[in-house]
Structure 1
Amino acid sequence: MIQKNNIEVYFLTILLRISFVGVLLITFFDLVFESGKSSVTSSNIVDIIILVCIGLAFILLHFNKYHAAVITATFTPLTALFYSNIYLPHSTTAMAAIIAIGFSFSILLNGISRKIMHAYVGFGMAVVFYFQFAEPSLYLKTSSGEVITTFIFYAVVYSIITFSATALKLKYDSINRELISKNQELLEKNILMEKKNQELIESENQMNEINIHLEHIVEERTNNVKSKNEYLVKYAFANAHHVRGPLARILGLLQLAKIETTVDYPFLFKNIEQQAEEIDEVLKTINKELEEGQDIFF
């Protein structure tokens, strides 16, 4: 399908429509005013050739063959117009049509193809000038000077129109390339911003996961500290009540042994041994329960 957003394709489409209607009208009036003739004239054939070329250009443009459409719509009609100006001096086609076509491919073509077409027009106009300069009266010119004046006029007009059109086209292409470049930069920046945004989202998710993990770690360590504190409290309680008791009794027995003049050593040692065994038993129980993570209970 034709890309309507392309200014050159759009311009070519409009140009082909207008040209087709214009040439169709010229062909019609040629046939009307030459109705007395028994056969189709060379002028009619030229008009028909141009109509066929415009129709082919429409078909090529429909299949996205842009450059082929431009060449078809300009090269063959140019050749037909040159032929008309040389061999059909009374033809209704004029040099002005060549100027219009030159303006068209100044807008529609770029680079080497545009230069080639301009060179072809210059060559064709030179050939036409040669034939008309050689026989001015055949082309309804009063003298060779009139031929020179006419062709200088057409050459100047052609140069002005095509140069202006080419300058405008080059400026348009430059602005269009700049816009495309800016649009590409904006697109790249947008992609970069989306990437950065995605990275920020991923970083935020990672931070949330880390925070959740830290909360679990803090909670676990807090519970661990509380548990150890509870063990320390229970250990202090066990130490105060279950270790200090036998130890105090041992100290009391030793104090009595110092006071008494006669000491029953067997009795003293027996009681000290009992209290020491009780202390040892308490300490073993505490160590075992601390190692196994059990509550210290007596």
Structure 2
Amino acid sequence: MSRSKIVLERVTVRYHNGPKPRWRRGWPSQRKPAANTPKDVLDRVSLEIGEGEFVCILGHSGCGKSTLLKAIAGFIEPDEGAVYVDGVKVKGPQADHIFVFQEGALFPWLTIGDNVSLALRSIKDRNERNRHVQSYLEQVALEGVDKHYPFMLSGGMRQRAEIARALAAKPEILLMDEPFSGLDYLTRLHLREEMLYLHIMLPQTTILFVTHDIDEALQLSNRLIVMTEPPGQVKCCQTINLSHPRTLASPVLGELRSQIYHHLGVHVAI
């Protein structure tokens, strides 16, 4: 593995107010009555992620996958332990760490072109910036939609626009929380191709990708992490040393697929 980009040291996160963890200053928060017992959602999670890795995180609903990403992003503060990026303790969100939410995060009052342009604010010349916007949209097969607003696009097209914005931003860390959930099967397949392309274009970018889809994880990732049922811990890590593109008919992936199902408590992989 390359040098460690992200390190988690015995990270524990508790829910202090029903279903919501304790948010950092500036985020909405409420206090749980003292009589209520806090609930651990992550339990002493220790993990190292190398620079440029594509890591998929699998696990049952409620096991803390999304909470893990938010702790790495600096959106929530661990109750115990710490998260380090490049050896520096995470104390809040960083501009070069991009988070792609499950429900999407395009600004609805901006056009698709303006959404992508936000990642290119360092380019002062407007014409040059627009040329870059067009280039990134073309790379994800979204030619001609720069003047459209997000509501005018399908779910798959909106996710492609988010990938284009991520390409433009060239983030050091890209955190993706079930970005393809709710999309039809063929659209998911196309977006898997886009993700592989993004990883090729940004080889130094570390990608953490939460999914419930085992086949998706097998086809995309360099490493798989399976979480236990809550409170979440790392149950197993599995490195996949296979080149892309991958076929699920591969005996290696077939065996690994059965192992992942077994770790998740399913003994017959369908």
Name the structure where strand makes up a greater proportion of residues. 2
Name the structure where helix makes up a greater proportion of residues. 1
Band of TM-score, shorter chain:
under 0.3
TM-score (norm 1): 0.19
Which one has more relative contact order, counting CA pairs under 8 Å at least 6 apart? 2
The structure number with the bigger radius of gyration is: 1
